[in-house]
Amino acid sequence: MDSRSYQDHFFKKAKTSGYRSRSAFKLIELNSKFKFLKNSIKLLDVGSFPGGWSQVAAKTIKNGKILSIDKKKIEEIKDVKFIMGDFLEKKSKTSIIEYFNSNIDVILSDMASNTTGNKSLDCIRTNQLCLDILDFSKQTLSTKGVVVSKLFMGEDFEEIKIRAKKYFKKIDFFKPNSSRDESRETYIHCSGLST
């Protein structure tokens, strides 16, 4: 299947299965590989608009606590609390910490900065978001917690790897089949928080 048909395939699949985005399938694949969506967990979904990942999380997790945040408002999802805001702002982080009131089990980030047309700049900006997620996770994740974050292969990749290795005992990179081949997008999965 060429890249365009592949995209169409996941777009149609999203429509028929009721997911708001093709991205939903990336989370399904990530979870099939790493198995982090479990019942009764506290999960944070950062950069959640339009809500595909939150839909998958709500469908998979029973008796959990799910918080999703984005700069853009999402339509309501049952069993998901939404905060509209910029994750980089201190007040958003304070709201997240207050909402959970204890450590978080799973932090997901599919954040991507707005595309500028300059691939190198887009890559740097998105990877800075990933670094910010790692720093936030270091402070808020439970000892057995897991972080999954989008990043772009390219500039700042080494910095992400170094920081992740400093904070976590185990790190893996995984590119889901539903992520377009030509895209530099990939995901980092980190577990085993170093104390």
Tokens of 23: 């991205």
Residue 86 sits in the site that holds ligand SAM (CB under 6 A): yes
Pair 44, 106: CB distance under 8 Å: yes
Residue recorded with tokens 């790493």:
34
Single residue of 112, 124, 131, 161 touching ligand SAM by CB under 6 A: 112
For residue 54, what are the β-bridge partners?
A: none
Interface characters, 11-40, with ligand SAM (x: CB under 6 A): ---------xx-xx----------------
Using rule CB under 6 A, residue 71 touches ligand SAM = yes
Q: Could you confirm whether 150 is annotated as catalytic?
A: yes
Q: Is 176 in the site for ligand SAM (CB under 6 A)?
A: no
Which one among 14, 111, 133, 141 touches ligand SAM, defined by CB under 6 A? Answer: 111
For the bound state, the minimum distance from the C-beta of residue 162 to ligand SAM, rounded and expressed in Å, comes to: 22
B/e letters for 67-78, b = 16+ CB within 10 Å, e = fewer, are bbbbeeebeebe
19 or 157: CB nearest ligand SAM? 19
Residues 6+ apart with CB under 8 A from 181: 3, 6
Q: What is the DSSP letter of 130?
A: H
Identify whether the C-beta of residue 171 lies closer than 8 Å to the C-beta of residue 188. yes
Decide if residue 68 touches ligand SAM (CB under 6 A).
Answer: no
What is the dihedral sign for C-alpha 67, 56, 73, 182? positive
Q: Cβ of residue 195: shortest distance to ligand SAM, in angstroms?
A: 28
Residue 136 beta carbon to ligand SAM: minimum distance, rounded to whole angstroms:
11
Is 148 an interacting residue with respect to ligand SAM (CB under 6 A)?
no
Query: How many contiguous H segments (helices) and E segments (strands) does the chain have?
Result: 6, 7
Indicate which residues carry an active-site annotation: 150
Binding residues for ligand SAM, rule: CB under 6 A, are: 20-21, 23-24, 47-53, 69-72, 86-88, 110-113, 129
